[in-house]
Amino acid sequence: MVENSGELKIALAGNPNTGKSSIFNLLTGAKQHVGNWPGKTVARAHGSFTHEGHVVEIVDLPGTYSLNASSPEEIVAREYLVSGVPDAAVVVVDAANLERNLYLVVQILETNVPVILDLNMLDAASSRGIQVDAAELSAQLGVPVVSTVARSSTGLEELKDAIVGVFDWEGAL
């Protein structure tokens, strides 16, 4: 069990174009620039929010497809995740392209950092006839799964609850 001092440090990770920076901005109130091109963000962005008496620091890692550490984005993300600094990682995935995004999810799970999976862009998935069973995905991966639509702030409170609750969730530790 992770000892909780009331201050949590959460890594925010995901493939490019999953809405990760939008989730970061919604959680922290920041105005991190969102970009769709490789190498746009190589540095980490920091922000915080308070929820249920917990101060939560969010570290927005560069968007990356893997942790193989061959590109600058991968190096920054991998080094931070394996550093022992984050208490947990929120991995933002595009619900309409889940299969492609799961490679990074599995790699982050292998770092032994507790993971919360954020199924973002459910509106886009639904418009393409794609339905994702979040409960089944949670059972299969052994991590909490939260559904969001960053564009409309849908699911944001549930994501905050999951972040604060990750330390009480038996499957995450």
- pLDDT for position 28: 94
- pLDDT for position 70: 85
Q: Is the distance from CB of 155 to CB of 147 less than 8 angstroms?
A: yes
Domains and CATH numbers, the chain: 7-172 (3.40.50.300)
Q: Can you give 64-96 as a three-state secondary structure string? A: CCCCCCCCHHHHHHHHHHHCCCCCEEEEEEEHH
- pLDDT for position 2: 42
Q: How far is CA 53 from CA 43, 56, 173, in A?
A: 29, 9, 22
In this prediction the pTM is 0.88
For tokens 């089944």, what's the residue?
A: 136
- pLDDT for position 69: 75
> How many CB atoms neighbour CB 59 within 10 A?
20
pLDDT along the chain (173 residues), means of 10: 64 95 92 48 78 92 90 89 93 96 96 96 94 96 96 96 77 40
- pLDDT for position 113: 94
